[in-house]
A = this chain, B = another copy of it.
Amino acid sequence: MRLATLKDGTPGGALAVVSDDGTRVLKIGDSLPILLKLMEDWDAGQTTLAEAQNKLASGQGELCKSDAFAAPMPRSWQWLDGSAFSTHGDLMQVAFGLDPIDTDRPLMYQGISDKFFGPTEDVPLPTTEHGIDFEGEFGVIVDHVPMGTSAADAMNHIKLIVQINDWSLRAIAPIEMKTGFGWVQAKPACSMAPFAVTPDELGKGWKDGRVCLDLEIDLNGEKFGAANGAAMDFGFHELVAHAALTRDLVAGTIIGSGTVSNPNYAEVGSSCISEVRAIEMIRDKGPATTPFMSFGDRIRMEGRGIDGSSPFGVIDQKVVQA
């Protein structure tokens, strides 16, 4: 099943179901107005969702227009972003000029969750001096996860999978990181691809709590990367259990993978500019040459199945001056 949120002028938008072929969409209505509400009682909502799917199958609904979609979860109570691809972590420490992080635990920070940009919305940021970068990621949305839930049990709480662009400001990131407090200024609101999908929708693309899809990324129409999500050091179920050790996870919590990154980056490319810059620094034993983003630059991201499918739809948006 694929869910989406249609823009309707409210912060939460209107929950909708998308047809199996991804071409048509049907708004649910007052019985289940927003995705956050569904997450609070997933099982109770299934009848309503099944009815909507039946209506879609019988031809009801409207043609999908990319500009009509908000993020499937336009705001939530909690966004916890991991950094589960060690290739990314290793390269970022080079980019930031910091020592390697010595830990065998999952890395995770809490970020802004009151706003996720829709897939085609312009993203306003104050200045290019902050070093504007994208980070292509996958993420999961859970229902209520009790404190102390094991990784095995956490798997059952993963109800939806999403595709995320975690906007990042690289001139500020190492300064904040050095304090040990994590990022506030360096991590403005993220964006989401239009469709949140149930794990079964990915077929063999969902394995061991990992999204085993290539994340195709184009910057200003040029191929930038297509790293695969299978390379996570920890599965999403392990990230969920990590987060739930000392807190209940509120229904609707979104947990991110961190930037998708593969050891064979020379072959598949990267999912953020900063990695490319680190690769240049290592290769050339000198300063990086690839610039960060300018206002007007356009970033496109699309998770792609082996069969060519596009379960999450496309993020395609530009960064603009605030």
Contact status A105-B175, CB under 8 Å = yes
Residues A243 and B184 in contact in the complex (CB < 8 Å), given A126-B148, A147-B322: yes
Q: Which of A155-163, A225-233, A246-254, A273-281 contacts B (4 or more CB under 8 A)?
A: A246-254
Contact status B169-A83, CB under 8 Å:
no
Contacts of A242 in B (CB 8 A): 184-185
Min CB distance A13 to B, Å, is 15
Mark out the residues of chain A between 109 and 133 whose CB falls within 8 Å of any chain B CB in the assembled complex: 109-115, 124-126, 130
Q: Report whether A188 and B246 are in contact in the complex, using a CB–CB cutoff of 8 Å.
A: yes
Interface string of A162-183 (1 = CB under 8 A from B): 0000000100100101111111
Let me know if A108 and B248 touch, CB within 8 A: no
Query: How would residues 213 to 246 of chain A score, 1 for a CB under 8 Å from any chain B CB and 0 otherwise?
Result: 0000000000000000000000000000011011
The answer to whether A169 touches B246 (Cβ under 8 A) is: yes
A169 neighbours in B (Cβ, 8 Å): 246
CB distance from A53 to the nearest CB of B (A): 29
Is there a chain B Cβ closer than 8 Å to A103's Cβ? Answer: yes
Interface presence of A102 (CB below 8 A): yes
Stretch in A74-82, A285-293, A295-303 touching the partner: A74-82
Residues of B near A77 (CB, < 8 A) are: 75, 77, 113-114
Please give the distance in Å from A35's CB to the nearest CB on chain B: 15
On whether the beta carbons of A98 and B246 are closer than 8 Å, the reply is: no
Q: Is the CB of B78 within 8 A of A112?
A: yes
Q: How large is the interface on A (under 10, 10 to 19, 20 to 34, 35 or more residues)?
A: 35 or more
Q: How far is the CB of A174 from chain B (nearest CB, A)?
A: 9
Is A107 positioned at the interface, with any CB of B under 8 Å from its CB?
A: yes
* Contact residues in B for A322 (Cβ distance below 8 Å): 147-148
Of B103, B113, B243, which is within 8 A of A178 by CB?
B103
Select A114's contact among B78, B130, B178, B188, beta carbons within 8 Å: B78
Cα A242 to Cα B80 in complex, Å, equals: 21
Q: Is the CB of B178 within 8 A of A110?
A: no
Q: Which residues of B contact A102 (CB under 8 A)?
A: 178
Tell whether, in the assembled complex, residue B115 and residue A250 are in contact, meaning their CB atoms are under 8 Å apart: yes
Residues of B within 8 A of A78 (CB): 112-114
**A contacts, CB < 8 Å to B:** 75, 77-78, 80, 83, 98, 101-103, 105, 107-115, 124-126, 130, 147-148, 169, 172, 175, 177-186, 188-189, 242-243, 245-248, 250, 253, 322
Supplied contacts A102-B178, A112-B247, A126-B147, 5 more A-B pairs, CB within 8 Å? A80-B184, A107-B179, A115-B248, A126-B246, A184-B243
10 closest A-B pairs (Cβ-Cβ)? A182-B182, A77-B114, A177-B180, A114-B250, A109-B181, A110-B110, A188-B246, A108-B184, A185-B246, A188-B247
